[in-house]
Amino acid sequence: MLGFLIRNPAASFFSVLLHVAIAGAMVLGIDWQPRRSAAPQSVIQATVVDQAAIDREIARRAEIERAEQEQREREAREAAEAEQRERERVAAQQRQREEAERLEREREQQLRVERERAAQAQREREEAEQREREQQALLERQRQDEERRRAEAERQRREEEERQRLIAEAEARKQAELEAELGRALAAEDERRRAEEAGLLDQYLRAIQSQIERNWLAPPTARPGLRCMIHVTQIPSGDVVGVAFGSCNGDEAVKRSIEAAVLRASPLPRPPVPSLFNRSLEVTFEPEV
């Protein structure tokens, strides 16, 4: 309200004048009610207002308003300054936090770099140790391989010596056996020759021929004058293991019957002298038909 009056001096003057008039009327006890009198008359009363008092009141109120305004401005400045200081304090704290965070990041980065360097150094040491171990292992494998090669060469040398010894022994045995076999063959040949001269071979062959003929069953196609050369293969026990024909004037039925007779005659008679034994015999088959 006071600010409004200061901004509007005319309104201020009339307001002050009205208040003074009202106060003067109350002091002087002016009766606003109309009085009855014998004869109507017009009475005009006026209250003298002290203009100097009004000016002083206006000035006092203006001074109060200025003081209040200054107080408000001072408080506003102080509040603005306090707010500025608070902003500066908050900004300083923010800068401090940011600086602390930056320093912490730098410290962490430095620690990370140091850890990485330490890890790299550790990896390099481990790799160097691994290379050293691999080199030692390679040298050890080479040494072992060399030892195995020498041992293998020595084993092969001993085996070759043993093989040569065995070969020499085998050849010596073979030579001895050949000589013994030759001696036996010569003795058998001599015995066979003597047996043949004594007619034992012919006797042996006739015994075989007779045994075959006894086991022969003549087929209907057999004719007088039958003559076949039979090649008989036997083993030392006399058992027949093979039959083949040389010249033969019989038909296929006759040949089959003769082959069956040879197999039925197995085992064949033993020779009277062992030297007369022969795996392959040639028997003349000439039965009487």
The answer as to whether 60 is a domain residue is no
The answer as to whether 161 is a domain residue is no
Structure tokens at 288: 């009487």
Cα–Cα–Cα angle for 150, 152, 155, rounded to 5 degrees: 110
CA distances from 150 to 143, 144, 161, 229 (A): 10, 10, 16, 67
What's the pLDDT at 30? 44
Structure tokens at 3: 């600010």
The answer as to whether 122 is a domain residue is no
- Domains in the chain, number: 1
Report the alpha-carbon distance of residue 24 to residue 16 in Å, rounded.
12
The answer as to whether 230 is a domain residue is yes
Helix (H, G, I), strand (E, B) or coil at 177: helix
What's the pLDDT at 195? 52
User: The CATH number of the domain where 242 resides is what?
Assistant: 3.30.1150.10
What's the pLDDT at 35? 47
The answer as to whether 9 is a domain residue is no
Query: What is the block-wise mean pLDDT of the chain (289 residues), using blocks of 10 residues?
Result: 46 51 50 44 49 88 91 90 89 90 91 91 92 92 92 93 92 87 66 64 91 93 92 93 93 94 93 89 88
Structure tokens at 83: 């707010």
Whole-model pTM over 0.85: no
What's the pLDDT at 142? 92
The answer as to whether 279 is a domain residue is yes
The answer as to whether 177 is a domain residue is no
What's the pLDDT at 10? 47
The answer as to whether 42 is a domain residue is no
What's the pLDDT at 33? 44
Report the alpha-carbon distance of residue 195 to residue 192 in Å, rounded.
5
Structural domain range at position 264? 200-285
* Residue whose tokens read 């003081």: 67
What's the pLDDT at 194? 61
Digit-coded pLDDT (tens) for 226-246: 999 999 999 999 999 999 999
